[in-house]
Amino acid sequence: MAPINMARVILGGLVAGLIINISEFVLNVIVLEAQWREAMTSLNRQPVESVGTIVAFNIIGFIYGIFTVWLYAAIRPRYGPGVKTALCAGSSVWLIGYAMALAFPVLADLFPIKLIAISLLWGLVELLVASVVGAKLYQEAAGPQAAAAASGG
């Protein structure tokens, strides 16, 4: 079994993270900005607008992308390369990182359920797209077995 090619995980993960960050910008700043502002105001909180917080959210988006491609690389030997495996990795990260993370705000009735539902559905699509694109950029590292096979030995 070839080792995970971490350089390709980072490359694919950064591209996947860029897709996630662009998608989150469109969702939260363009599509749902008014709804988020209203939800935060109802909690007596300011809308998220500080540069530091926005940078932190972008770093989190890149971490999601890198982790998704790493998970794809990790399960690839068992499930095989391709879109199906990328979708498994992406949906797993969505379940843990998005759906379960939003369980508390839903159960605590902090935000309108419609706002959370839109965010979850959008997030699922963005993560599935990001996982497929990131996985397309991933390639196994050429290990000793691959080198031996290529040289005929």
Any idea where the domains of the chain sit in the sequence?
Answer: 6-26+34-142
pLDDT tier at 77, thresholds 50, 70, 90: very high
The pLDDT, as a whole number, for residue 147 is 46
* Dist. CA 61–CA 55, nearest whole Å: 10
6 CB neighbour count, 10 Å cutoff: 13
> What is the percent of the chain where pLDDT is above 90?
86
The pLDDT, as a whole number, for residue 111 is 93
- Residue 152, pLDDT > 80, answer no
pTM, two decimals, is 0.88
- Residue 89, pLDDT > 60, answer yes
pLDDT top residue among 49 and 139: 139
Cβ distance 136 to 12 under 8 Å? Answer: yes
Average the pLDDT over 2-22 and give the result: 97
- Residue 61, pLDDT > 80, answer yes
Spacing of C-alpha 6 from chain mean position: 17
The pLDDT, as a whole number, for residue 1 is 76
The Cα-based distances of 147 to 25, 90, 142, 143 in angstroms read 43, 31, 6, 6
